[in-house]
Amino acid sequence: MEIVEQLLDISGIGRNRMQLRWVSSAEGPLFADYITQFSDQTKELGPFDLKKFMLPLAAVERTLMSSRIRWLIGITRELTDFENVYHEKLEEEDYKRLLQQATEEEYHKAMIVEVLREGPLSVKEMAEKIRLPVYTISLRLNELERHGQAGLSGYDGGTPKFIGLAA
């Protein structure tokens, strides 16, 4: 859930549009209170503009499906509770920082893949569409190229244009 909250914040949607509460079937009044609180909270946030957030939502979904994030979540206990062959283990805070960094990087790559579905784009065009620095786009695009998810389409004058590739 922390990853979903982080992704909602990164995407501009905001973590306040989602809540997870555990309530038993015997706690009807508590459930009603939670629903009322959440309804009031979402009313304060205002209507959700789905059209505005189509690209970020697609990138959030792609990030949650990424093998890197799924792998990191799957080995949380191995990384934080047990020693590796070098007798090292990650402190909880170090693991959280690692996961946050990986989540942000995967979200950036997902945004690039999603925006490239529109057709060939230059790094500058991608940066304008997804509001990331050109340097960040270049780094993530390089990773996508190495993994066969993006590639050079051609040139518009001297400007390279990139496309998304089936992965």
**Residue pLDDT, tens place only, 58-81:** 999 999 999 999 999 999 988 899
Res 167: pLDDT: 56
Q: Do the Cβ atoms of 23 and 31 come closer than 8 Å?
A: yes
- Short-list 38, 48, 93, 102, CA closest to 70: 102
Domain ranges of the chain: 2-45
Rounded CA-CA distance 135/96 in Å is 25
Res 86: pLDDT: 86
User: CA torsion sign, 162 to 147 to 64 to 139?
Assistant: negative
- Short-list 42, 15, 47, 21, CA closest to 33: 21
Res 166: pLDDT: 73
Buried b (16+ CB within 10 A) or exposed e, 68-103: ebeebeeeeeebeeeeeeeeeebeeeebeeebeebb
Mean pLDDT of the chain: 93
What does the pLDDT look like over 78-118, one tens digit per residue?
889 988 888 888 999 999 999 999 999 999 999 999 999 99
Percent of the chain with pLDDT strictly greater than 70: 99
Rounded CA-CA distance 57/62 in Å is 9
